[in-house]
Amino acid sequence: ESEMRIRTDGRWYHQGGEITRPAMVRAFASLLMRDGTGQHGHDTPHEKLSIEVEDAAFMAIDVKQESGALAFRLNTDDLVLAGPDNPIVARGDADCPALYVSVRHGTEARLNRSTYGQLIEIALASGDLSVTSQGETFPLVPA
């Protein structure tokens, strides 16, 4: 047990205190993985440490449409291009939908409210509630 937790709003905690140094969060985030059971953690050559994640490990805080791709900026300042390797997934229901983009090593980023709105505007400009990135089309309505 690592005594680390990632809250729904994307803030990282260790032993109950918030990790406020962006460089520390980026360092921990670069090692983060999610296994087939949905458990998040850090795997090192010496040990495996679990990390409690309330919803998604990352927050997508901005999106830009460039050259046929959707580029998401994360709260860790990473850039993720949606596409075959990083799909966009709609969860929840029509009354309370949530959008996620795959990041790396099984982890995901939940789109924050403003990024969700940006993506809906992109979808509406194309005439329906789906978006295309790197040749893949992603519905924005939960199934």
Read off the pTM: 0.91
List of residues 6+ apart from 101 with CB closer than 8 A: 60, 72, 80, 82, 86, 87, 88, 89, 108, 109, 111
Q: Say how far apart CA 40 and CA 5 lie, in whole Å.
A: 10
The mean pLDDT value for 100-116 works out to 96
Q: Say how far apart CA 52 and CA 120 lie, in whole Å.
A: 30
Amino acid at 131: V
Q: For 47-106, write each residue's pLDDT tens digit.
A: 888 999 999 999 999 999 999 999 999 999 999 999 999 999 999 987 888 999 999 999
What local confidence, expressed as pLDDT, does residue 107 receive?
97
Task: Evaluate whether 9 touches 54 at the Cβ level (below 8 Å).
Answer: no
Q: Say how far apart CA 79 and CA 62 lie, in whole Å.
A: 10
